[in-house]
Structure 1
Amino acid sequence: MWETELADGFSVSVLGLGCSSMSHGYGPEQRDNDESIRVIRRAVELGVTLFDTADVYGPYVNEELLGRALGRRRHEVKIATKCGLVVRPDSKFSRNGRPEYLRQACEGSLRRLRTDVIDLYQLHRVDPEVPLAETWGALGELVTEGKVRGLGISHATLEELKEIHAVFPLTTVQYELSVWAPQNRRDILPWCRSNKVGFLAFAPIGRGYLSGRLAHKSLQSGDSRMRDPRFAEEAMRSNEAIVEGLRAVCARHSGATPSQVAIAWALAQGPGVVPIPGTRHLHWLEENVAAACLRLSDEDLRDLDSLPNAMGEMHWDGVRADSAHDDATRSVSSGPA
């Protein structure tokens, strides 16, 4: 798989692998760590060089899993992990952007990932109780000390991006971006292009919905998607129109699947956009990676851009928060993206 440059000197494969579902989120079925390790190692074989995780996934066990799976091939890839969310004793989240905590969190991630440097260290959420410049300055120190190579952030407002980029340059941002969640094309993506900052697009397959293989009755209690209004039964029926639009494009590309068309749409948003679909199954990994070779026509892209808005669509106040995945009072089972 070919690579793309997200920022000066920071290149990754055009498609990454999101590892979070290997350890939490789309439960409650039992996780198969052996299968997840096979997925990670197969991804390396297929040319994937970006692996995204976070200390809060599990918590902690997702980083441990990734470190163990990469083993001696660690030098062939780039690891992106996150900090700034903490699991409380009541199994709910709080944010922590204090410099002393971030330094401690970094040391823990280095240990669990079995590495001496983190390629991309991302602030998972902005802590409103700590001056943002103070938080970001502390992360910048980790770069100058050689513990981290580049910095990223998830779910920040446009004004917050401008503020931190002036303190210490951003390498990437991370937001949801897909056919049914295209909102970040309005302001975040243009800002990234203007400032040569990479864009990691999580959930490009709509947390599985855009695959066309997910029915409301298949969601079980404990599945984080139950908290997302797009996965309410009525919304899922209405949003089938979006999946049908993906299938119509599939018909023009022999053998293509709705998931592949959804990933190809994300790739078509520009060379600085790297989709990071998540999976813990080998057959879905190989299907997703094959999407990197799918080229959508101008007609395909026009048709996909004209699809109806998703019912239950997330509303972002300046891209601050996702109501289903960013409430510090929710339990860990809901899973932060």
Structure 2
Amino acid sequence: MSTPQAGAAGTIDLGGDLTVNRLGYGAMRVTGDGIWGEPKSRDEAKRVLRRVVELGVDFIDTADSYGPDVSEILIAEALHPYPENLVIATKGGLVRPGPGQWVPDGRPEHLREALEGSLRRLRLDQIPLYQFHRIDPNVPLEDSIGAIAELKAEGKIRHVGVSNFTEEQLRAAQRITPIVSIQNRYNVDDRNSESLVDLCEQERLVFLPWAPIQDHGGNSAVQEAAAKYGVTAHQIVLAWLLARSPSILPIPGTGSVGHLEENVAAAGLELTPAEVAAISGLN
């Protein structure tokens, strides 16, 4: 049986003028161990990226800090010139002094340099969705978002998103420029951003959950559903995210073609309301 396409999950609107299939791909894992340096096989990484597009995925999420730079470079090498419908989102605001180190840098001059670097590496004239990766406690939020708003005004950014934000921080950013998406950690076990998922649904923002398929081992309802449908637990938690809210755009990442096909197959899996409630811990 052929692998279901990402379009089986339906579509979602981003910023009012971009429509993508509601199962995306996170390109963090095409880098080396610890999200540092080159992957073990550049050819395999590029095979994964090409297969992403073949499977109907038309939203790819990356960041300048993945590698650093490696993920963006590989995306361009594998996919440029890009399919007309492909939306590439990237992020800036974290620097990588070494493996396993993620240091916020929200200075306006850094964000401008980061954005320009992403444009070059991705071979784009404009980033469809540029996300502020993480707030820098040493830089006022207004300065960081203000710099991104200036880049948007210059035509280098189409839409602005934020990552690792609270609602209060989101509101502060919205006073400066329109925000179309939030990317926070969210999965079956980590529900700290539950209220933001609901906010996104109410205000027609897109919620991008990172670490979407982690932390499900203790959820018996996930295991029961996987056994019932004859699928993996990863597929069940992705189906749960799709059912949890129409504002959610899952972006599972992998460096393996096999795992990619497994993830995309979840687009065609529909859980019952009772199963969604059980996995959510509402029963």
Is residue 126–residue 158 contact of structure 2 (8 Å, CA) maintained in 1? yes
- Distance in 1 separating the partners of 2:99 and 2:188: 36
Residue 13 of structure 2 aligns with an amino acid whose one-letter code is E
Is residue 17–residue 278 contact of structure 1 (8 Å, CA) maintained in 2? yes
Deviations 1:126-162 (A, max 9, x none): 1122221121111112112111111111111211001
Is residue 201–residue 246 contact of structure 2 (8 Å, CA) maintained in 1? no
Show structure 1 runs of 5+ residues with no match.
211-239, 309-337
TM-score by length of 1: 0.76
Q: Is 1:205 aligned with 2:182?
A: no
Deviations 1:137-192 (A, max 9, x none): 1111211211111111111121100110121010111012211212211x211222
Q: Which of 30, 34, 43 is matched with 1:34 structurally?
A: 43
Q: Helix, strand or coil for the counterpart of 1:51?
A: strand
Is residue 51–residue 78 contact of structure 1 (8 Å, CA) maintained in 2? yes
Residue 252 of structure 1 aligns with an amino acid whose one-letter code is K
CA gap 1:30/1:129 in 2 versus in 1, 3 angstroms: closer
Q: Which of 92, 111, 121 is matched with 2:120 structurally?
A: 111
| 1:13-92 equivalent positions in 2, closer than 5 A | 13-24=21-32, 31-88=40-97, 92=101
Show structure 2 runs of 5+ residues with no match.
1-6
Q: Helix, strand or coil for the counterpart of 1:116?
A: coil
Q: Is 1:252 aligned with 2:234?
A: no
- Distance in 2 separating the partners of 1:30 and 1:139: 30
Q: Is 1:241 aligned with 2:218?
A: yes
Deviations 1:288-319 (A, max 9, x none): 111011111011112212289xxxxxxxxxxx
Residue 218 of structure 2 aligns with an amino acid whose one-letter code is A
- Distance in 1 separating the partners of 2:59 and 2:40: 22
- Distance in 1 separating the partners of 2:34 and 2:105: 25
Q: Helix, strand or coil for the counterpart of 2:139?
A: coil
CA gap 1:276/1:159 in 2 versus in 1, 3 angstroms: same
Q: Partner of 2:173 in structure 1? A: 164
Q: Is 1:8 aligned with 2:16?
A: yes
Equivalences, count: 274
Q: Partner of 2:276 in structure 1? A: 301
TM-superposed CA distance for 1:87, in Å, is 2.4
TM-superposed CA distance for 1:15, in Å, is 0.6
CA gap 1:291/1:26 in 2 versus in 1, 3 angstroms: farther
Q: Partner of 2:150 in structure 1? A: 141
Deviations 1:81-112 (A, max 9, x none): 11011223798443221222211111111111
- Distance in 2 separating the partners of 1:116 and 1:34: 26
Q: Helix, strand or coil for the counterpart of 2:74?
A: helix
Q: Helix, strand or coil for the counterpart of 1:122?
A: strand
Q: Partner of 1:176 in structure 2? A: 185
TM-superposed CA distance for 1:195, in Å, is 2.5
CA gap 1:25/1:184 in 2 versus in 1, 3 angstroms: farther
- Distance in 1 separating the partners of 2:12 and 2:35: 33
Residue 85 of structure 1 aligns with an amino acid whose one-letter code is L
- Distance in 1 separating the partners of 2:256 and 2:266: 16
Is residue 89–residue 127 contact of structure 2 (8 Å, CA) maintained in 1? yes
Identity of aligned residues (%): 40
Higher relative contact order (CA 8 A, sep 6+): 1
- Distance in 1 separating the partners of 2:89 and 2:109: 21
Q: Helix, strand or coil for the counterpart of 2:175?
A: helix
